Copies of this chain bind each other. A is one copy, B any other.
Amino acid sequence: MPLNKNQHIAIAGAGLVGSLMSIYLAKHGYKVSVFERRPDMRTNLLDRGRSINLALSNRGIRALAEVGLADKLKKVAIPMHGRTMHDRKGQLRFQPYGKEGQFINSVSRSNLNIVLMNEAESLGVKFYFEQRITSVDFEKTELTIRSTNSEIQRLKFDAIIGADGAFSAVRGSMQLTDRFDYAQSYIAHGYKELHIPADAKGNFKLEKNSLHIWPRESFMLIALPNPDGSFTCTLFFPFEGNPSFNSLKIEREVEVFLKETFADAYELMPDAVQDFISVPPSSLVTVKCYPWVRNNTLIIGDAAHAIVPFFGQGMNAGFEDCRILNQLLDQEKNWETVFNEFQLQRKANTDAIADLALDNFIEMRDLVADEEFLLRKKIEAMLHERYPDKWIPLYSMVTFYENIGYAEAHLIGKKQKQIMDDVMQTPDLKQTWEKLNFAAIVSKLNGYA
């Protein structure tokens, strides 16, 4: 079917990715309707209080910039220049994320979502809330939707984009079609959110411009700053075993555990025990599937590739989806080509970030407390400083170099790891690392970067 500005596009999901995609499409001139299962978060305040924050980085910012929203959002974002690690004794150590001027941004999920929805509406996008998609007819490009009063509607569109998240209903309908590869896999850890409020004057109780980590080998606590002076903390913790969510159920035991394990943080979280006890842990899933297209329906974002949060790239990957899809709408002449090119370009990249995100959990919870690992990072930073275009550390490629695809970053990262594994065998490296032959190390990456 040829692209035509009079066409009516349905988007499933008014989350971050669905809302941004609706803006791109409206700017193209399409008629856009967005269907969301939940109530409007702008009028329904329930979810807004402590809603989690996210790390916005270059890939996400690039897409926001294209729709003219980057500057507006940077104003409410809090730059985080690196990780501050807290050991058991409360001693701190800072590790920058990149070079001077490279940082990630703590943003509130709900604030960002509201900015995107408001912008979309100002461009003519129509949002319909409390509308549950019960099935998709791919032959007819038709949604069956049940609203809260149980009314059932069937609505036909020219194209449908499923941006309805990790438990996507659009993908659910794809799964009923033949030859749809699908995998969902959970990690052994879940998470609970805890909270460090601002002090009496509304100031941050920890260094504001950092992502704080309490790495404890098999689990960790992290904290990201909020504009009101508070931090939202997330405890990533095993479901089973000892200690685990399952082993810690009694108030007194939770208190002892938190106090002993995260002493300095515990002092700052007056409601920690209550927060821990009162809410069940959430689980963490990776979803991979293929194809992402059935006729004139496409899935994007978490619906197509949900990942664990440990590389801070879930939203950024979803926003990058929107940018690439928009690019193809500029270049191509019909929907089949746009959708097919999209999945061909994105599948390997989103598989790569899924795997990188799983790997990074081990780095965050365990390795960042390891001397040798920190030395390795220092050497890589030096390589990058001396050869800025020839050796870009993996974290930087993923986070700050949006022109390097995730798949390419993954590949180069593996090669770098092999090279650095050898380098780390050098005797007395801790004393002598500054005298390494950096040119020789970089030359081994031959053919890359």
- A contacts, CB < 8 Å to B: 175, 178-186, 239, 283
- For A178, give its contact among B178, B182, B283 (CB under 8 Å): B283
Q: With a CB–CB cut-off of 8 A, which chain B residues contact A180?
A: 184, 186
What are 13 contact pairs spanning A and B, CB under 8 A?
A175-B184, A178-B186, A178-B283, A179-B186, A179-B239, A179-B283, A180-B184, A180-B186, A181-B184, A181-B186, A182-B182, A183-B183, A183-B184
Q: With a CB–CB cut-off of 8 A, which chain B residues contact A181?
A: 184-186
Instruction: Give Cα A376–Cα B181 distance, bound, in whole angstroms.
Output: 35
Q: With a CB–CB cut-off of 8 A, which chain B residues contact A178?
A: 186, 283
- For A182, give its contact among B179, B183, B239 (CB under 8 Å): B183
Instruction: Give Cα A185–Cα B182 distance, bound, in whole angstroms.
Output: 6
What would 11 more interface pairs be, CB under 8 Å, given A180-B186, A181-B184, A183-B185?
A: A175-B184, A178-B283, A179-B186, A179-B239, A179-B283, A180-B184, A181-B186, A182-B182, A182-B183, A183-B183, A183-B184
Instruction: Quickly give the copy total for this chain.
Output: 2
Instruction: Give Cα A55–Cα B186 distance, bound, in whole angstroms.
Output: 36
Instruction: Give Cα A179–Cα B184 distance, bound, in whole angstroms.
Output: 9
Closest to A181 in B: B185
Instruction: Give Cα A178–Cα B182 distance, bound, in whole angstroms.
Output: 17
Cβ of A370 to closest chain B Cβ, rounded Å: 30
Q: With a CB–CB cut-off of 8 A, which chain B residues contact A182?
A: 182-185
Cβ of A373 to closest chain B Cβ, rounded Å: 30
Counting from the closest, the 3 A-B pairs by CB-CB distance are A183-B183, A179-B186, A181-B185
Instruction: Give Cα A183–Cα B178 distance, bound, in whole angstroms.
Output: 14
Closest to A186 in B: B179
Instruction: Give Cα A182–Cα B171 distance, bound, in whole angstroms.
Output: 14
Instruction: Give Cα A182–Cα B183 distance, bound, in whole angstroms.
Output: 5
Cβ of A315 to closest chain B Cβ, rounded Å: 22
Closest to A280 in B: B178
Closest to A176 in B: B167
Cβ of A246 to closest chain B Cβ, rounded Å: 12
Closest to A185 in B: B181
Q: With a CB–CB cut-off of 8 A, which chain B residues contact A186?
A: 178-181
Instruction: Give Cα A185–Cα B185 distance, bound, in whole angstroms.
Output: 14
Cβ of A295 to closest chain B Cβ, rounded Å: 17
Closest to A175 in B: B184
Instruction: Give Cα A283–Cα B186 distance, bound, in whole angstroms.
Output: 27
Q: With a CB–CB cut-off of 8 A, which chain B residues contact A283?
A: 178-179
Cβ of A374 to closest chain B Cβ, rounded Å: 34
Cβ of A278 to closest chain B Cβ, rounded Å: 18
Closest to A190 in B: B179
Closest to A188 in B: B179
Q: With a CB–CB cut-off of 8 A, which chain B residues contact A183?
A: 182-185
Q: With a CB–CB cut-off of 8 A, which chain B residues contact A175?
A: 184
Instruction: Give Cα A239–Cα B179 distance, bound, in whole angstroms.
Output: 10
Q: With a CB–CB cut-off of 8 A, which chain B residues contact A184?
A: 175, 180-183
Instruction: Give Cα A143–Cα B257 distance, bound, in whole angstroms.
Output: 42
Instruction: Give Cα A180–Cα B179 distance, bound, in whole angstroms.
Output: 21
Instruction: Give Cα A56–Cα B360 distance, bound, in whole angstroms.
Output: 47
Closest to A287 in B: B182
Cβ of A306 to closest chain B Cβ, rounded Å: 13
Instruction: Give Cα A413–Cα B368 distance, bound, in whole angstroms.
Output: 41
Instruction: Give Cα A184–Cα B182 distance, bound, in whole angstroms.
Output: 5
